[in-house]
A and B are shown apart, each in its own frame.
Chain A
Amino acid sequence: MSLLAVQGGATGTGTVSLVAPVTNTNRTLTLPDVTGTVAVQGGTGVGKVLQVVQGIKTDTFVSSATVTDTAVTGLTVSITPTSASSKILVFCNLSMTSENAQGGAPKLTRTISASTTQLSLADAAGSRSRGSFAGGGYRGSAAGYLLMNWNQNLTYLDSPATTSATTYGVQVSSISVGTYINRSGTDTDTSDFLRSVSYITVMEIAA
């Protein structure tokens, strides 16, 4: 049988206490069979990722002309932070294309209690469209843009300062023609045309 030795500090005057929880169940705490220092939550060397949630959209979404900042249906993820001081690290992959020169102006959004805020927007610059992502639009030549589909990626560190359910999503716009999610503009039913997937992944990071 191995032994457990409790050793006091060589210096110092404080008292370290091991406190039992309020429970009626017998518990066993097993120490790791390695040499080192046991870490505790809030100290250094302890993992800071408290939870990870992902939302995936596997079907398509299209918005018509002159639709501004419409939510992409089904491309959302909800997380309830355990602490108001936590940060939320957001990863978003948006598979899209747009016939508009501004590329659909995709925006990351955060919704708390039905109040939606656009996040990570570019600085205002006159009448120019603003986005959280680079747009997926191209009108350079012929109708080639109708055959394209890009992955637009975003990583954003948010500080929602809440313990309420928080939903992240994406909005897109269309000025004169269409914006397409998870498909190309031309979408003929042959193997020449691709359907794809968009997702949002969020991590709660302890402060």
Chain B
Amino acid sequence: MIDLTKPLFALFPTAKWTLNGDTYAGLTWLSEDVAKPSEQELLDWVDPNAYKDKRAAAYPLIPDQLDLLYHGGMDAWKAAITAVKEEFPK
């Protein structure tokens, strides 16, 4: 389920609206100077920062990273981090 507030905030940063629930049916458009976007327009939006969330979820936990540093040194740690960055490029 897409969070419609993300494209709404990104594409219409000054617009006034409320969203009740998670679906387009709950969108009430309050701005008169900005046209209400279509549902498809919002669904087509690609989050330029999506890679950040994917990387954050894929990085090893901090205790595991510290353990990797202790046992494998900086090179091992860097290799693990680089693998995640390459899996989810910008």
B interface residues (Cβ-Cβ under 8 A, vs A): 1, 3, 5, 8-9, 12-22, 26, 28, 30, 53, 57
Question: Which residues of A lie under 8 Å from residue B21 when comparing CB positions?
Answer: 59-61
CA gap between A59 and B8 in the complex, in Å: 19
CA gap between A97 and B22 in the complex, in Å: 17
Question: Which residues of A lie under 8 Å from residue B19 when comparing CB positions?
Answer: 60-62
A interface residues (Cβ-Cβ under 8 A, vs B): 59-67, 70, 73-74, 177-178, 187-190
Question: Which residues of A lie under 8 Å from residue B13 when comparing CB positions?
Answer: 65
A59 touches B17 (CB 8 A): no
Chain B residue with the shortest CB-CB distance to A187: B3
Question: Which residues of B lie under 8 Å from residue A67 when comparing CB positions?
Answer: 16-18, 30
A-B contact pairs, 25 of them (CB 8 A): A59-B22, A60-B19, A61-B20, A62-B18, A62-B19, A63-B17, A64-B16, A64-B17, A64-B18, A65-B13, A65-B14, A67-B17, A67-B18, A67-B30, A70-B30, A73-B20, A74-B20, A177-B9, A178-B9, A187-B3, A187-B5, A188-B53, A189-B1, A189-B3, A190-B57
Q: Which of B19, B20, B21, B26 has the most CB of A within 10 A?
A: B20
CA gap between A64 and B15 in the complex, in Å: 7
Q: How far is the CB of A119 from chain B (nearest CB, A)?
A: 21
B16 touches A62 (CB 8 A): no
Name the contact of A73 in the complex, choosing from B14, B16, B26 (C-beta under 8 A). B26
A70 touches B20 (CB 8 A): no
CA gap between A89 and B69 in the complex, in Å: 59
A64 touches B8 (CB 8 A): yes
Question: Which residues of B lie under 8 Å from residue A178 when comparing CB positions?
Answer: 5, 9
Q: How far is the CB of A25 from chain B (nearest CB, A)?
A: 48
